[in-house]
Amino acid sequence: MTRYQVETGGKLYLTGEYAILIPGQRAIINYIPIKMTACIEPAPRISLTSDMFDYTVGMAPDKGYALVQSAIHTMAMFLQKKHCQLLPFRLTISGQLGEKGKKFGIGSSGSVVVLTLKALAAFYQLTLSDDLLFKLAAYTLLKNGDNGSMGDLACIICSDLIVYTSFDRQWLQEHIQVKSLEEILRLNWGYRIERLSPKLRTHFLVGWTQEPAISQHMVNQVRDQMTPTFLQASQLASDSCLAALQSANQTAFIKAITQLHQALQDLDPAIYHPALQRLVAIAQANGAVAKSSGSGGGDCGIAFAFDDDAAQAICKQWTEAGIQPLYQEKWGNL
């Protein structure tokens, strides 16, 4: 019997969170290779199981499995079939991008949609380009009322450090109301996704606060407080961060991350949960730069340390302060 296995990972924002909600803004987002896996095989009827839950479902609407079911509906629509006309399968998902029932906040909802679409593409032997996969995944999330920029999808699909330029989701929603999926996929949505290979020598460190936050709620609370000053500061700092990564300019990089940290701190007090304040303070005390990542309010923060000793000391002190070192990478042949 043919059985396919596919996987997806997570993501974290380096720059541009919140600002990226405005079409045309840019954000730098890094792939985090903590994985979710899906197995798909033929079965008498559609059956969906995830280790997030202790029950299996079919296609009768279920809150827990809503995104998985919705991705299946999108794929059925793409194949111009109803879900009951699809060759049936058993889909088993494992890896929750979290621990002990608490999510890390590295993009599990985006990841599960991409994972489901990839599993179905393998099962039906379709080769989907990154662009097509992005559009199908974004369409699925938008139909589920997601209020995000879709930067998570772009990064998870590329599995790389990327620069993402956002598109106008409002404009797309209006088209979704009146056009077929086929027509929607043919439109030029106006986003850009570019891969980035950093020359700057640095340790990229991720600390998990173990304080879950819900991005959708944070976005609803913070979105309307973005001023032109914030947007401009975020864009300038994001662009100089990009230039500094490419030209290995450590001074400029430190300045840019510090500005982004400050801009987020000024945007809304809910962003810097006390655990994120601790995370940043520990990094700074060891000569590193750090900031909250994504919507904040908990989840993860990131730090950049410029030598091995600092990186080690930060991870040790984070652990002592209840912040779990979740992941690290070395950049620029360090």
Say whether residue 294 binds Mg ion (CB under 5 A): yes
Q: Which stretch binds ligand PMV (CB under 6 A): 18-26, 117-125, 250-258, 283-291?
A: 18-26
Token pair of 119, please? 């599993």
Q: Which stretch binds Mg ion (CB under 5 A): 40-48, 79-87, 100-108, 168-176?
A: 100-108
Q: Which is nearer to Mg ion, 12 or 114 (CB)?
A: 12
Among 232, 220, 240, 241, residue whose Cα is nearest residue 263: 232
Please pick, from the candidates 31, 32, 96, 148, the single residue that binds ligand PMV as defined by CB under 6 A: 148
- How many residues touch ligand PMV under the rule CB under 6 A: the total is 16
Q: Where are the alpha helices (DSSP H) in 198-285?
A: 215-222, 228-247, 250-267, 274-285
Q: Where are the alpha helices (DSSP H) in the chain?
A: 66-78, 108-123, 130-143, 151-158, 169-178, 181-186, 215-222, 228-247, 250-267, 274-285, 308-320
Q: Other C-beta atoms within 10 Å of 322: how many?
A: 14
Say whether residue 325 binds Mg ion (CB under 5 A): no
Say whether residue 13 binds ligand PMV (CB under 6 A): yes
DSSP, collapsed to helix, strand or coil, labels residue 249 as: coil
Query: CA 202, 106, 49 angle in degrees (round to 5)?
Result: 140
Q: How far is the CB of 259 from ligand PMV (least distance, A)?
A: 17
Q: Which is nearer to ligand PMV, 95 or 148 (CB)?
A: 148
Say whether residue 105 binds Mg ion (CB under 5 A): yes
Contacts with ligand PMV in 245-304 (CB under 6 A)?
294-295, 299
Say whether residue 215 binds Mg ion (CB under 5 A): yes
Q: Which is nearer to ligand PMV, 116 or 295 (CB)?
A: 295
Q: CB of 164 within 8 A of CB of 192? A: yes
Q: Which is nearer to Mg ion, 36 or 40 (CB)?
A: 36
Token pair of 98, please? 């979290």
Residues found near ligand PMV in the complex (CB under 6 A): 13, 17-18, 20-21, 105, 107, 148-149, 151-152, 215, 219, 294-295, 299
Residues found near Mg ion in the complex (CB under 5 A): 105, 215, 294-295, 299
